[in-house]
Structure 1
Amino acid sequence: MHNFLDFEKPIAELEGKIEELRHLSDDGEINIAEEVEKLQGKVDRLLRQTYGKLSAWQKTQVARHPDRPHFRDYIAALVEDFTPLSGDRLFAEDHAIVGGLGRFRGYSVMVIGHEKGADITSRVKHNFGMARPEGYRKAQRLMRMAERFGLPVITLVDTAGAYPGVGAEERGQAEAIARSIEVCLGVEVPLLSVIIGEGGSGGAIALAAANRIFMLEHSIYSVISPEGCASILWRSGEQAQDAAEALRLTAQDLLNLGVIDDIVPEPLGGAHRGGDSSIAAVGDRLEAGIRELLRETGPQLKQQRREKFLEMGKKGLG
């Protein structure tokens, strides 16, 4: 059963009717296949209409949907022999960022990403995907290790932002994020990043200063959350919808602005309705990207990344 978003209520009602009819069919001799097919056609039409014109705020809700595939789902489907590597060798292990070695479609790679957790216990363990400084320092360690062994780095970004707690600030959250961005920009191996859900603020760019940045169709990537932006500009979180529009945080906006390189399509109704096909589409895009980037030398990859970020923001203005 899906968790339905507010704007999906008409779809929820139709799917509820389909469920009832199927239940009736199971109980007796009634053949309701034709009626179910008709209703299913309506559901597909509604999904197409609804998801064809989502507002920025609605896309934010889809990006945060609890049933969207998470980091661990991508690892299970795409990476063989995944071996997690823990700790930053300075303070502790941070479960919000998971990283390790594995084989992706024949390539040995380092995979690093945010894990939000799937139920309340795992969400608390992974701190809802909000990393502390030790998470970013672990990411730096793993990226440097990948460079030492000449391995491409894949990062999967899904975070509301870096954790803003007192302890995190005391241990140098801003420095850890800045250093992560520096390491991303400096490594001489292919670095590919996919925004799979939320790309929130410095917490996201710490892993996403890459040669290739892809976004799932209904993911978001912004300097601050819409609620945070609204509370600063309007002194109230109620204007979050206006903030979402102003932030230009959708994949489509960011492609136009030259911030990302490509959009990975999601199945009808979003990745939370067809996780397997979303994951496969991300895998295909990453495989093509790795093959392309491995033709370049280390210094070329580093230079290309530097130029990419210096150019950013010029496109789409005016």
Structure 2
Amino acid sequence: MTPENRTLLLDFEKPLFELEARINQIRELAEENNVDVSEQIRQLEARAVQLRQEIFSGLSPGQRLQLARHPRRPSTLDYIQAISDEWMELHGDRGGSDDPALVGGVGRLGGCSVVMLGHQKGRDTKDNIARNFGQASPGGYRKALRLMEHADRFGMPILTFIDTPGAWAGVKAEQLGQGEAIAYNLREMFKFDVPIICTVIGEGGSGGALGIGVGERLLMFEHSVYTVATPEACAAILWRDAAKAPEAAAALKMTALDLKELGIIDQILLEPVGGAHSDPLTAASILKEALLQNLETLNQMTPGQRRELRYQKFRSIGVFTELSA
């Protein structure tokens, strides 16, 4: 492992890293001294595989959040370039803005013309600053709406990829109408005739995620999160202590398993053992297969059936019980 990758190591991954480092050390010593330790190495490698499965099958909500925020986790552009046959990015909201935190364009998926768009985070500090850490401005949501209207006009399915801690919450964003831009997107997305499939690929936070999150199908990667507020914000509000973020993460029910059980999402996309960042091409292949399967089903419906499915999906979210006096 390179020094750069070592700094990106998560706490719960350290036992696995130490075991793999020991295996490499034994292998190098054996080669230098011309000693056959293939059987011992085979046993240690089997143990490493077992340990990896144990670690990643029993992650807490807080640990899944760490994976969702991993700087090497595949981004919207990574997935688009991996799954599309052709791809052309389009720019601008036709109002003077071109937000780099929300990207989109036209492409082909499995021979079908589609519009793909989503939040885009950066790879390093400089790139993250340029992308505003994936927190879209009002212009970003208006650009997304322009692309979705284009898709609806020309009968192209809409595929959105959600990966944001939330919409940009700066004073300038409010001055430019952040709340109005998101609300307008919500209303308009319910009207579109074409299929809409939304996928949470990393961190889905608050209205920033919902601004491109209305569709007949909501998919979610295994180690992604989808929540009304970040655990840090939730902890600061409830306990006035951001250090209680792990407790907030558990209480928010923000993991894919929780949300599938609650009926919020439709499908969990399993990730390679070790997370999507450990094998991005396999993760992209899993995503592409799921999108094609869902598109095949949705394309068999009429526009009216798709709009009704979309409407009923969101009407059924949120269950309450009325207690009599």
Which residue, 33, 57, 63 being the options, matches 2:62? 57
1:156 aligns with 2:161: yes
SS in structure 2 at match of 1:4: coil
SS in structure 2 at match of 1:89: coil
> Is the 8 Å Cα contact of residues 257 and 315 (structure 1) preserved in structure 2?
no
TM-score, normalised by the number of residues in structure 2: 0.93
> Is the 8 Å Cα contact of residues 85 and 111 (structure 2) preserved in structure 1?
no
Q: Which residue of 2 aligns with 1:77?
A: 82
Which residue, 100, 105, 129 being the options, matches 2:134? 129
Q: Which residue of 2 aligns with 1:205?
A: 210
What is the CA distance between 1:178 and its match in structure 2? 1.0
Q: Which residue of 2 aligns with 1:185?
A: 190
Gaps spanning 5+ residues in structure 1: where? none
Number of residues paired by the alignment?
Answer: 318
Which residue, 253, 256, 266 being the options, matches 1:248? 253
State the superposition RMSD in angstroms: 1.9
> Is the 8 Å Cα contact of residues 227 and 240 (structure 1) preserved in structure 2?
yes
What is the CA distance between 1:66 and its match in structure 2? 1.3
Per-residue CA deviations over 1:97-135 (Å, capped at 9, x if unaligned) read: 110000011110000011112233322221111111100
Mapping 1:151-300, distance limit 5 Å: 151-300=156-305
Structure 1 residues 174 and 5, CA, compared in 2 at 3 Å: closer, same or farther? same
For 1:286 and 1:241, how far apart are their aligned partners in 2?
32
Identity %: 43
TM-score, normalised by the number of residues in structure 1: 0.95
For 1:66 and 1:32, how far apart are their aligned partners in 2?
36
For 1:27 and 1:213, how far apart are their aligned partners in 2?
53
What is the CA distance between 1:215 and its match in structure 2? 0.4
What is the CA distance between 1:22 and its match in structure 2? 4.2
Q: Which residue of 2 aligns with 1:103?
A: 108
For 1:27 and 1:72, how far apart are their aligned partners in 2?
44
Gaps spanning 5+ residues in structure 2: where? none
SS in structure 1 at match of 2:223: coil
For 1:184 and 1:74, how far apart are their aligned partners in 2?
23
What is the CA distance between 1:7 and its match in structure 2? 1.5
What is the CA distance between 1:75 and its match in structure 2? 1.4
Amino acid at match of 1:241: P
> Is the 8 Å Cα contact of residues 86 and 138 (structure 1) preserved in structure 2?
yes
Amino acid at match of 2:272: P
